[in-house]
Structure 1
Amino acid sequence: MLGEIYTANYALITASVISVAIIIFLKMYAKDPYGTYHLGLNMRPGQDSTKPPKTEWLNMGYWRDTDIFPDACEALALKIIKEAKPIPRGHVLDVGHACGDSLLLYLQHPSLPRPESLCGSSATSQDCKVNLLCADAIFRSQSAEHPLNPSSTDPLLTSITAIDCAYHFASRELFLTQCYTRLAPGGRIALGDLVIAKRISFPLRFLLSKLLSVRSENIITPEEYEAQLRKAGYADIHIENVSENVFPQFQAFLVARGGLWRVMAAVIGWWETAGGRFVIVGASKPDS
């Protein structure tokens, strides 16, 4: 009993220290969360540090075949996009695309079919209508131009992707429901997302949500995730745990960067110790 109390107190103290460090970290970059701080992460070995990197990725990466951050980020994006099963001349929505690198994959990568329309990028292409929208991931009644507006007259979407971001949404379940409404029959959604291996206590859930800037209601198990998808109407559901190719290598990369990046690495390690997982989720809207 005393051992359990000691362990719990130690965990809370550790989490509190990490929380303070995170607050300091966030205050440093709060003025411009998509500013220049992440550019250093995208620098390749041997690249001239006086010149900006060619990419501005902002995901945790899929590190199975690489130890280079931008390559790992592209690998994760490609894995998620392929789970969405894009089709030639399809209508694509990529949510939470950060600086747009994932959207360029849709337009340029040789292994992907070119869409007819792509919502979320300011890039241009002769063969694709591209629309850049700055908006919350969730449709609100005042957002008439939102791609998830159920009253939209735009073509139904054939693929929707959310790469390493849906755990921030308010809420993910509502987002999944809204996506289902706008998907064409046979269309598919794919997400790179965080889940918890088993249900946890409310205090621990609350603490994790603050440490990771994750909505508390979004910290759910894979089984609960699947249940939400089925409730919304989805079928052909696939949830793949890819944590072993995400967390360890991303942590090592951040630790090597030094400074406050070590704090972020520690938080990711604590999340994994608490049962956190990184998964790739795919689900389809039935044809009929």
Structure 2
Amino acid sequence: MSEFHDLAELALNREGETWGNLGYWQTATEYSDACRALALLLGEQAGLNPQSVVFDAGFGCGDQLLLWLEHFRVARVFGANLSRSQTAYAKAKLARAGFPAAAAAILQANISDPEVWSAALDRPSHVLALDCAYHFPNRVEFFALAQQHLALEGRLALTDFMLADQHRTGSFTHRLLRWMLKRSHIAEANIVHRDIYLRQLQQTGFGDIRITDISEHVMPGFAHSIHTLRRNGKLSWSGRVKYNVTGRFLEWAYRRSILRYCVISATKMG
């Protein structure tokens, strides 16, 4: 059976890299570099260091796992990903890089399953969700699970979409947004205004919350990169359909001030 989250992103990367996020395009000009830049930004916002024990919720094909281990030199990584194909690819990638299961214990599973979190050998000091939380069945449930299983004063860090402050939910534009969210396998309840997002974090036991809008360095850049790849014939027919639609949607949502893309970090309280 086909998966919505599969290995399609491999076509966007240069050889040997398998990133799968929207990228941070402040200085990057190629997709792989922009994706790495977004992961670096998240790791820095989280405050990763050699003592960190990381739970990665939705680790893609493994490139970000290697970044946590090699660049930030974290002590240990574990996590879960819903995609069977991506998880298998990530396990093989970690093995080729010389990281045994003791250093990076990952599995294919639903992030909403409490047993996935309970199976960990250590309480994580950090929970990360790089460009994937909007796809979770229920993001507030994810916040609660992260808060429950994080070590005391542990950090949650993610990149995520929010509704722009000026966007009104009863508008015709919002009806178009709802249609696009459904097509993209994104629960409408996950896309909320900043004040609601902040309150959700607070109500699930987080404080010291930082939300930074990085939309201008993410959404237009991704759209432009897809246009360039399509123009240069780098995408298959299915890739052109999938990514061209995504790129045009993000360009529209940014230009019309409908969505904003942010990096968020918060500390477990009490």
Query: TM exceeds 0.5?
Result: yes
Root mean square deviation, CA, Å: 2.2
The answer to whether residue 264 in structure 2 is matched with residue 281 in structure 1 is yes
The answer to whether residue 27 in structure 2 is matched with residue 60 in structure 1 is no
**CA–CA separation in structure 2 for the residues paired with 1:184 and 1:137:** 18
* 2:67 equivalent in structure 1: 105
CA contact (8 A) 2:59 2:79 kept: no
* 1:85 equivalent in structure 2: 47
Q: Structure 1 residues 197 and 251, CA, compared in 2 at 3 Å: closer, same or farther?
A: same
The structural deviation recorded for 1:34 is 5.1
* 1:164 equivalent in structure 2: 131
**CA–CA separation in structure 2 for the residues paired with 1:178 and 1:93:** 12
Task: Give the number of the structure with larger relative contact order, counting CA–CA contacts within 8 Å between residues 6 or more apart.
Answer: 2
Amino-acid identity (%): 29
The structural deviation recorded for 1:66 is 1.1
* 1:114 equivalent in structure 2: 74
CA contact (8 A) 2:54 2:124 kept: yes
CA contact (8 A) 2:22 2:35 kept: yes
What stretches of structure 1 of length at least 5 have no aligned partner?
A: 1-29, 44-52
The structural deviation recorded for 1:83 is 1.5
**CA–CA separation in structure 1 for the residues paired with 2:100 and 2:188:** 43
* 2:2 equivalent in structure 1: 31
TM-score scaled by length of structure 1: 0.76
1:268 to 250, 257, 268: 250
2:217 to 212, 224, 245: 245
**CA–CA separation in structure 2 for the residues paired with 1:127 and 1:139:** 21
Q: Structure 1 residues 98 and 186, CA, compared in 2 at 3 Å: closer, same or farther?
A: same
The answer to whether residue 152 in structure 2 is matched with residue 185 in structure 1 is yes
> What is the one-letter code of the residue matched to 1:185?
L
CA contact (8 A) 1:77 1:163 kept: yes
Q: 1:210-255: per-residue Cα shift (whole Å, max 9, x none)? A: 2433111011011111100000110110000000000111111111
TM-score scaled by length of structure 2: 0.81
Which SS does the other structure have where 1:191 is aligned?
strand
Compare CA radii of gyration and give the structure with the larger one: 1
What stretches of structure 2 of length at least 5 have no aligned partner?
A: 81-89, 231-239
The structural deviation recorded for 1:37 is 3.2
* 2:87 equivalent in structure 1: none
The structural deviation recorded for 1:186 is 1.4
